[in-house]
Homo-oligomer: A and B are copies of this chain.
Amino acid sequence: MFESAEIGHKISKAEFREQEPDLRERLIDAQSALRELGKFPLLIIIGGVDGAGKGETVNLLNEWMDPRHIVTRAFGEATDEESQRPPMWRFWRALPPKGKTGILFGSWYTQPILDRVMRNTRPADLIASIEEIRHFEQMLVDEGALVLKFWFHLSKKAQEKRLNDLHDDPKTRWRVTDKDWEHFKNYNRFRSVSEQMLRETSTGNAPWFIVEGADANYRHLTVGHHIISALEGRMAKPRVLPSVAAAPRSPPLDQRNVLNVLDYSASLSKSDYRRQLEKYQGELSGLTRSKSFRKRSLVVVFEGNDAAGKGGAIRRVTAALDARFYRIIPIAAPTAEELAQPYLWRFWHQLPGHGQVTIFDRSWYGRVLVERVEGYCSEADWMRAYHEINDFEEQLVRNDVTLVKFWLAITPEEQLKRFTEREQTSFKNYKITEDDWRNRDKWADYEHAVCDMVERSSTNKASWTLLSANDKRYARIQVLKTLCERLEQDQ
C-alpha cells in the first residue's frame, strides 16, 4: 500500500513556483464557490507518520486558501469536558458546517492506531474501531460532506533521516520529541497497523490519498491538486443518492402492534399517586446525587403522541433533580446552524457531562417519525437513520451514559378529548395548533412509523419503554419508577 510513497517522489523548486500561482487561484475560486453554494462542507483529514510534514502542509493550505472559512483543529490529550463524553464527541464538535472547510490534524484515526501499535488493544478491537469509523464517515458522506483523507508517509530510512535532520538543526530541534523517537522504534508495527486501517477505511466515498512526505514541494502540490480536483469534480456533477433496495415493512397483517396491545385502562388513584410520587422522586433524587453517578450521566428521551403528557411527566422528573445538573432540550424545527450540520449534530452537542442529566423533549427519533411521515427527508435518509441512531446510542451506553427512552401512548379517543379540552381552556389554548390536528389525521402513518422505530431501535441496552398514558398519574409514576430502576441497574 505504501510502495508508491517510498520511491523518492520529487518536484523541483522551479516547477513548484511555476505551478503554485495557478493552483492557488483555483483553490480560492473553488472555496468561494463552495461557500456560495452552501450545500456541503469540505472535510480534510491529515494523518501519517511523524516528521512527514503534516504541519507544514496544513499551514500552507491555510495560506493558499481563505483562512476565515477554514476551521483547522488539532487534537491532543482529551480535556475534562471531552473525557466525560464518548470519544467521538470532540470530533463532532469540530465538524465544519456546509459551505466551509474543516482541516482535522489528527483525527478519529489516531487513537485506534496508536492503541494497537502499543498493544493496548487486540486485533479484534482494531476491527471494531475500523467499522465504527466506516459507519461514521459513511454518515458524513450520506449527509453530504466531501471527505478527503491524506496520509503522509515516509519510508523507515526517510523518517530516521528526517528526525535526525530536524534534531541536528538547533532551530528545529524543539520539533523532535521523545515521543517521536519512541514511535520511530515501533516503525514497523506502526506501518503494518496503519496499512490495515487505511486499506479498510479507503472507500469509494472517502478514499485515502497516500502522499510521500519527504519532498515538501511534491507533498504540497500533490495535496493541493487532489483537493482542487475533488472539489471541482463534486461541484461539476451533483451527487446521486442510491435508492433503497428493499422496501420497508408494511404494518402487521392482523393489525396487532406493540402500541395497540398496551393496557390503556391502567390507572392510579390520587392517593396512591401521591404516595408513589413521593417515594420515587425521593429515590431518583438520591440516585442522581449518589457517588457512583458522579462518574456517569443520564440521558432521557421523551417521545409520544401529541397531548400524551410529556411536559407533565418531565416536570415530575425534574422536581426530583438539582437544577444545576440537568437540562431540558425541547426539540423544534432545526435552526440554520443546525441544518448546516449532520442531523445528529445538535443532539451530540447537548450530551451531558458526568453527574449530569439531559432530558430531550422529542429527540433524534424525529428523523424516523415526523420527517419520515411528512416526507421531510427521503426514504433512503430515514432508512439509514435507524442504523445511525443505534450507533449513536451504543456509543452513549458504552461510555457511562444511562439512556432511557419513553414513548407515551394514548388512544385516539383520549387525544380527541384532550385536544377539545385544550381548545376550550384559555390558558391551555397555546398548546393546541393546526399541526396537532393535521398530525391526528395521519394517526395510522405515525403508528406504523412508531412500530418500525421500536422494532429497529429497541435494544437490550437502549430499550424503549412504551407506556399507556391515558391516565396521567399512572404514566408519571411509571416514568419515575423506570428511571430509578435503570439508574440502579447501571450503578
A residues within 8 Å of B by Cβ?
1, 3-4, 7-11, 122, 124-125, 127-128, 130-131, 141, 146-148, 192, 195-196, 199-200, 202-207, 209-210, 218, 221-222, 225-226, 229-230, 233-234, 237, 239-250, 252-254, 256-258, 261, 380, 383-384, 386-387, 390, 451, 454-456, 458-460, 464, 466
Most chain B beta carbons < 10 A, residue from A205, A240, A246, A249: A246
Taking a contact as CB atoms under 8 Å apart, the answer to whether A261 and B7 are in contact is yes
Q: Which residues of B contact A128 (CB under 8 A)?
A: 124, 127-128
Taking a contact as CB atoms closer than 8 A, the residue among B131, B258, B456 that contacts A202 in the complex is: B456
Taking a contact as CB atoms under 8 Å apart, the answer to whether B3 and A454 are in contact is yes
Known: A7-B258, A7-B261, A218-B253. 4 other contacts (CB 8 A): A4-B451, A127-B128, A200-B390, A206-B245
Q: Which residues of B contact A196 (CB under 8 A)?
A: 459-460
Q: How far is the CB of A6 from chain B (nearest CB, A)?
A: 9
- Given A1-B459, A127-B128, A205-B244, A11–B253 Cβ distance below 8 Å? yes
Q: How far is the CB of A396 from chain B (nearest CB, A)?
A: 15
Taking a contact as CB atoms closer than 8 A, the residue among B1, B146, B459 that contacts A456 in the complex is: B1
Most chain B beta carbons < 10 A, residue from A130, A202, A252, A460: A252
Closest to A226 in B: B249
Q: List 17 A-B contacts (CB under 8 A).
A: A4-B451, A9-B256, A124-B127, A128-B128, A192-B460, A196-B460, A203-B384, A204-B245, A204-B383, A204-B384, A205-B244, A205-B246, A209-B249, A226-B249, A239-B245, A240-B242, A242-B242
- Given A4-B454, A210-B455, A257-B4, A239–B230 Cβ distance below 8 Å? no
Q: Which residues of B contact A234 (CB under 8 A)?
A: 245-247
Taking a contact as CB atoms closer than 8 A, the residue among B131, B221, B241 that contacts A131 in the complex is: B131
Q: How far is the CB of A329 from chain B (nearest CB, A)?
A: 26
Q: Which residues of B contact A131 (CB under 8 A)?
A: 127, 130-131
Q: Which residues of B contact A11 (CB under 8 A)?
A: 253-254
Taking a contact as CB atoms under 8 Å apart, the answer to whether A387 and B4 are in contact is no
Taking a contact as CB atoms under 8 Å apart, the answer to whether B4 and A222 are in contact is no
Q: Which residues of B contact A204 (CB under 8 A)?
A: 244-246, 380, 383-384, 387
Taking a contact as CB atoms under 8 Å apart, the answer to whether B207 and A459 are in contact is no
Closest to A379 in B: B204
Query: In the bound complex, how far is the Cα of B384 from the Cα of A9, in angstroms?
Result: 28
Q: Which residues of B contact A386 (CB under 8 A)?
A: 202
Query: In the bound complex, how far is the Cα of B459 from the Cα of A203, in angstroms?
Result: 16
Taking a contact as CB atoms under 8 Å apart, the answer to whether B246 and A225 are in contact is no
Query: In the bound complex, how far is the Cα of B192 from the Cα of A219, in angstroms?
Result: 50
Taking a contact as CB atoms under 8 Å apart, the answer to whether B456 and A252 are in contact is no
Taking a contact as CB atoms closer than 8 A, the residue among B7, B146, B245 that contacts A245 in the complex is: B146
Q: Which residues of B contact A245 (CB under 8 A)?
A: 141, 146-147, 204-206, 234, 239
Q: Which residues of B contact A254 (CB under 8 A)?
A: 9-11, 218
Closest 6 pairs (CB-CB, A-B): A124-B124, A204-B383, A242-B242, A240-B243, A205-B245, A233-B247
Q: How far is the CB of A223 from chain B (nearest CB, A)?
A: 10
- Given A128-B127, A242-B242, A455–B4 Cβ distance below 8 Å? yes
Query: In the bound complex, how far is the Cα of B134 from the Cα of A384, in angstroms?
Result: 14
Taking a contact as CB atoms under 8 Å apart, the answer to whether B221 and A250 are in contact is no
Q: Which residues of B contact A230 (CB under 8 A)?
A: 246-247
Taking a contact as CB atoms under 8 Å apart, the answer to whether B258 and A4 are in contact is yes
Query: In the bound complex, how far is the Cα of B9 from the Cα of A146, in angstroms?
Result: 46
Q: Which residues of B contact A9 (CB under 8 A)?
A: 252-254, 256
Taking a contact as CB atoms closer than 8 A, the residue among B8, B195, B249, B383 that contacts A256 in the complex is: B8
Taking a contact as CB atoms under 8 Å apart, the answer to whether B253 and A225 are in contact is yes
Taking a contact as CB atoms under 8 Å apart, the answer to whether B252 and A4 are in contact is yes
Taking a contact as CB atoms closer than 8 A, the residue among B1, B10, B253, B384 that contacts A222 in the complex is: B253
Q: How far is the CB of A13 from chain B (nearest CB, A)?
A: 13
Taking a contact as CB atoms under 8 Å apart, the answer to whether B239 and A241 are in contact is no
Query: In the bound complex, how far is the Cα of B225 from the Cα of A206, in angstroms?
Result: 38
Most chain B beta carbons < 10 A, residue from A146, A207, A253: A253
Q: Which residues of B contact A207 (CB under 8 A)?
A: 246, 248-249, 383
Taking a contact as CB atoms under 8 Å apart, the answer to whether B253 and A195 are in contact is no
Q: How far is the CB of A256 from chain B (nearest CB, A)?
A: 6
Taking a contact as CB atoms under 8 Å apart, the answer to whether B199 and A459 are in contact is yes
Query: In the bound complex, how far is the Cα of B65 from the Cα of A339, in angstroms?
Result: 48
Q: How far is the CB of A416 from chain B (nearest CB, A)?
A: 25
Query: In the bound complex, how far is the Cα of B165 from the Cα of A97, in angstroms?
Result: 60
